[in-house]
Amino acid sequence: MSAEHAGSRHLEIGVDGTSRDLLAADGLRLGLVDTADEAAFAAWTEAESRGFHSAAGTTEHVEQRRGYARVRRTTGVWDDSEANPLTPVATTQVWPAELTVPGHRSLPAWAISGVTVAPTHRRRGIARAVIEAELRTAAALDLPLAMLTVSESTIYGRFGFAPSAMACDLTVDTRRARWIGPVAGGRVQFVSPQQLRVGGHEIVERVRLATPGQIAYDGILWDRQLGLMVGDEEAKTLRCVRYDDESGMAQGFAIFRVKENAGDFTNHHLTLLHLVSATADAYAGLWRFLVQMDLVSTITAHLRPPDEPLRWMIADHRAVGVTEFDHLWTRILDVKAALEARTYATPGRIVVGVADPLGAAAGLHTEGAWVLEVDSTGSAVVTAVGEPVDVSMSINELSAIHLGGVSPLVLAQAGRVTGDATTLEAMFRSPVAPWLSIWF
Ligand SMILES: CC(C)(COP(=O)(O)OP(=O)(O)OC[C@H]1O[C@@H](n2cnc3c(N)ncnc32)[C@H](O)[C@@H]1OP(=O)(O)O)[C@@H](O)C(=O)NCCC(=O)NCCS
């Protein structure tokens, strides 16, 4: 089940009182947007677009977004003294979504998106009030973790978030990238975005639990990738291919565009927007198809996993340039629930000390000493204890290592974890590098 449809409690709970009062003292009003109200939602969308410096949507586009927004908690902050008082001066949109953790498991997480504050109202604490409100609301809803993808990596550390899943941008020189990988036995064929809409999503769901860091998504996040948003001019250049295995079952797809080089027809540029595969065969079949595309000399691929096998499937390792960056930021709100949700690589027992400036006052179950006991199956029981700790860190570092991709030993070297990082390293490491393949 998609977590975007996991009940409606998050739509019904009122705004956080602490932040409402704080903002009211500054002459501002924190409130929920009624997505059934066309004018209110249009004004909210206008504020969000303005906040990200993107073009305002047409009426049809806003109406399409309003349809998706029905399952999201949409919040604004209004300054009633403004010339256009209906347009909020701050926006955010949140919803619960399943987040994959190591061990083919997932936990319900609070996805935060659309955080903007108008440039006219910046740096007076509005974003802090809005984000802390969302964290307290998540805690009130018993959600063990909050997550976001960020415009700038300087903003969210102060709220206890840390990058826990990295992503890579690849540049492939196809002239050097002679294929030496397996030749898949299935078939690659062009399909329309509409054909991919149901079948492609079924593949996304099928592979979701294989990689920590992936989230359950549909609605706008899926339709946007398929170019199905009203007025998306760039969508006209999208191409979709599907890989079917030898038995005819769809096992993967790729969405890409090719930009012609008018000056040299042998130097076109292919941009890979999304490639999802449920089998090794589908992965090889789709990448081989892309790498061998006639007239294309360069492929750039955005948001690829840190452990991409492609480099081992081509003759020249250096045909692929890799730029790694932080992508998914997470913030544990409930240490017991978050740590018990995943499995661990080795059995053992360790007492972890956690500091959290936001902590108990915000209703978070994070601060203190926690004993993590992992049995021979990799499952954990976590209990608050009064014992001396073996290793200590702040909630940021615990959030960073939680998905198994950030090394506790590296954090210890950086001075951000003190104590027995070696045991943590052995327990927390995930055999599959965490990765999130979309922005939200
Ligand atoms: C980022 C943004 C939401 C911040 O809003 P804001 O109301 O100015 O932030 P606040 O005044 O509440 O700042 C809270 C703290 O974050 C800091 N901060 C805010 N924006 C920051 C940034 N871009 N980089 C570094 N620090 C930042 C503030 O200095 C303040 O620090 P302090 O509490 O230690 O003094 C706003 O500038 C914005 O809308 N930017 C463009 C859209 C965007 O990037 N949104 C984020 C999407 S992930």
Digit-coded pLDDT (tens) for 58-73: 999 999 999 999 999 9
Q: Which pLDDT score is estimated for 351?
A: 98
The yes-or-no verdict on residue 2 having pLDDT over 70 is no
Digit-coded pLDDT (tens) for 169-183: 999 999 999 999 999
Show the tokens assigned to 232: 């998306």
Burial class (CB in 10 A: 0-12, 13-18, 19+), 65: buried
Kindly report the number of other CB atoms within 10 A of residue 348's CB atom: 15
Show the tokens assigned to 151: 């415009």
User: What is the position in ligand 1's atom list of the atom closest to the CA of 118?
Assistant: 39
Q: How far is the CA of 187 from the centre of ligand 1 (A)?
A: 48
Average pLDDT of the segment spanning 22-41:
97
CATH numbers and ranges of domains, the chain: 3-160 (3.40.630.30), 168-327 (3.40.630.30), 334-428 (3.30.1050.10)
pTM above 0.85, yes or no: yes
User: With a 6 A CB cut-off, is 152 part of the ligand 1 pocket?
Assistant: yes
Q: Which pLDDT score is estimated for 1?
A: 38
Q: Which pLDDT score is estimated for 436?
A: 98
Digit-coded pLDDT (tens) for 378-414: 999 999 999 999 999 999 999 999 999 999 999 999 9
Q: Which pLDDT score is estimated for 7?
A: 77
Digit-coded pLDDT (tens) for 255-306: 999 999 999 999 999 999 999 999 999 999 999 999 999 999 999 999 999 9
Cβ(130)–Cβ(238) below 8 Å: no
Reported as a pLDDT band with limits 50, 70 and 90, residue 358 is very high
User: With a 6 A CB cut-off, is 154 part of the ligand 1 pocket?
Assistant: yes
Digit-coded pLDDT (tens) for 111-143: 999 999 999 999 999 999 999 999 999 999 999
The CA-atom distances, in angstroms, between 81 and each of 29, 31, 421 are 11, 16, 53
User: With a 6 A CB cut-off, is 122 part of the ligand 1 pocket?
Assistant: yes
Angle at 225 between CA 224 and CA 227, to 5 degrees: 65
Q: How far is the CA of 123 from the centre of ligand 1 (A)?
A: 6
* Of 432, 331, 262, the residue nearest 107 (C-alpha): 331
Q: How far is the CA of 220 from the centre of ligand 1 (A)?
A: 26
The yes-or-no verdict on residue 371 having pLDDT over 60 is yes
At 269 the three-state DSSP class reads strand
Phi, psi of 378 (to 5 degrees): 95, -5
Q: Which pLDDT score is estimated for 6?
A: 54
Q: Which of 50, 112, 122, 328 to mutate to test the pocket of ligand 1 (most atoms within 8 A of CB)?
A: 122
Q: How far is the CA of 145 from the centre of ligand 1 (A)?
A: 21
Q: Which of 200-209, 230-239, 274-283 has the lowest mean pLDDT?
A: 230-239
Q: Where are the alpha helices (DSSP H) in 3-37?
A: 9-12, 17-24
Q: How far is the CA of 344 from the centre of ligand 1 (A)?
A: 36
User: With a 6 A CB cut-off, is 391 part of the ligand 1 pocket?
Assistant: no
* Of 107, 115, 24, the residue nearest 75 (C-alpha): 115
CA-CA-CA-CA torsion sign (403, 405, 211, 222): positive
Q: How far is the CA of 152 from the centre of ligand 1 (A)?
A: 9
Q: Which pLDDT score is estimated for 321?
A: 98
What residues pair up with 92 in beta bridges, in sequence order?
Answer: 75
The CA-atom distances, in angstroms, between 383 and each of 331, 339, 342 are 19, 10, 15
Name 217's Cβ contacts closer than 8 Å, sequence gap at least 6.
2, 4, 97, 204, 438, 440
Long-range CB pairs of 58-65, under 8 A, 24+ apart, other chains included: 58/230, 58/231, 60/230, 60/231, 61/229, 61/230, 61/231, 63/38, 64/229, 64/230, 65/41, 65/220
